[in-house]
């Protein structure tokens, strides 16, 4: 794991791209499309794209584990699942950089501590704001919650539309993709898994 992180850091340090270089790349793309990047409606577009992309992909500069550092031990023996439903997901697929729009449902079974409810949504947000596949996104959220909270179990489900297949390619506008990932008691005990699925389907 450390080797992977060291390689990623070396890549980021050696391949650092300036804002000016990124703007120039957007200018080239606008020209490639057959447009004039100097016309009134487009001359500020590269700068606007920089601002938009910084927002779309802000997850690269955030650490989801840090979000979960503050937990609360005063749970008075609560040992059943905590579920947060209908967390909005806005991500981008890594194959076409097209939007992925949907909802995530997250559940965990506390061990000795719980975390503030907003932190669950923030973890979803951090991983969503990166180039993603839905399968990996689902697993990253679950694995991070399981490890950081030392939970007895974690379940994550995402139901989303992928604009790479709804607005281009096969163009199936009504198609959605559902992914599920279970860890701990949710994986080992089907009664937990079934209860979770009933709760999120209501």
The answer to whether residue 96 is catalytic is: yes
Is residue 97 scored above 50 in pLDDT? yes
The answer to whether residue 92 is catalytic is: no
Catalytic residue among 105, 125, 134, 193: 134
Is residue 65 scored above 90 in pLDDT? yes
Catalytic residue among 92, 125, 132, 162: 162
The answer to whether residue 84 is catalytic is: no
What 3-state class would DSSP assign to 163? helix
Catalytic residue among 62, 84, 90, 96: 96
Contact 196, 107 (CB under 8 A): yes
The answer to whether residue 35 is catalytic is: no
Q: What single DSSP character describes residue 70? A: -
18-47 mean pLDDT: 97
Q: What is the CA radius of gyration of the chain?
A: 20
Neighbours of 12 (CB within 10 A): 10
The answer to whether residue 23 is catalytic is: no
The pair of three-digit structure tokens given for residue 170, joined into one six-digit string:
């096969």
Residues 153-194 have pLDDT tens digits of: 999 999 999 999 999 999 999 999 999 999 999 999 999 999
Residue 3: per-residue pLDDT: 46
Strands 71-72 and 114-115: antiparallel
Is residue 131 scored above 90 in pLDDT? yes
Is residue 57 scored above 60 in pLDDT? yes
Residue keyed to tokens 């990932």? 181
Contacts of 43 (CB under 8 A, 6+ apart): 37
95-112 mean pLDDT: 96
Q: What stretch(es) of the chain map to CATH 1.10.286.10?
A: 2-56
Contact 149, 107 (CB under 8 A): no
Strands 177-184 and 153-162: antiparallel
Local confidence band at 202 (pLDDT 50, 70, 90 cut-offs)? confident
**157's torsion region: left (phi>0), alpha (psi -120 to 50) or beta?**
beta
Q: What stretch(es) of the chain map to CATH 3.30.1130.10?
A: 72-201
The fold of the 2-56 domain, in CATH, is GTP Cyclohydrolase I; Chain A, domain 1 (1.10.286)
The answer to whether residue 105 is catalytic is: no
What 3-state class would DSSP assign to 20? helix
The fold of the 72-201 domain, in CATH, is GTP Cyclohydrolase I, domain 2 (3.30.1130)
Is residue 199 scored above 80 in pLDDT? yes
Neighbours of 65 (CB within 10 A): 11
Contact 120, 110 (CB under 8 A): no
Local confidence band at 1 (pLDDT 50, 70, 90 cut-offs)? very low
Tallying the residues shown for the chain, one arrives at: 202
Per DSSP, what are the bridge partners of residue 99? 92
The answer to whether residue 193 is catalytic is: no
């Amino acid at each position: 794991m450390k080797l992977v992180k060291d390689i990623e850091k070396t890549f980021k340090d050696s391949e650092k791209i300036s804002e000016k270089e990124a703007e120039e790349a957007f200018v080239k793309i606008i020209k490639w499309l057959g447009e004039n990047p100097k016309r009134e409606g487009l001359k500020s577009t590269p700068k606007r794209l920089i601002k938009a992309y910084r927002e779309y992909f802000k997850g690269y500069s955030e650490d989801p584990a840090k979000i979960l550092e503050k937990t609360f031990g005063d749970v008075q023996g609560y040992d059943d699942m905590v579920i947060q439903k209908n967390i909005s997901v806005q991500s981008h697929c890594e194959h076409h950089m097209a939007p992925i729009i949907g909802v995530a449902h997250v559940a965990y079974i506390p061990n000795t501590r719980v975390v503030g409810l907003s932190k669950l949504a923030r973890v979803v947000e951090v991983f969503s704001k990166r180039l993603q596949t839905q399968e990996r996104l689902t697993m990253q959220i679950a694995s991070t919650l399981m490890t950081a909270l030392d939970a007895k179990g974690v379940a994550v489900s995402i139901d989303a539309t992928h604009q790479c297949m709804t607005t281009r390619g096969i163009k199936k506008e009504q198609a959605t993709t559902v992914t599920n990932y279970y860890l701990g008691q949710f994986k080992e005990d089907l009664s937990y898994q079934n209860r979770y699925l009933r709760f999120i389907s209501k």
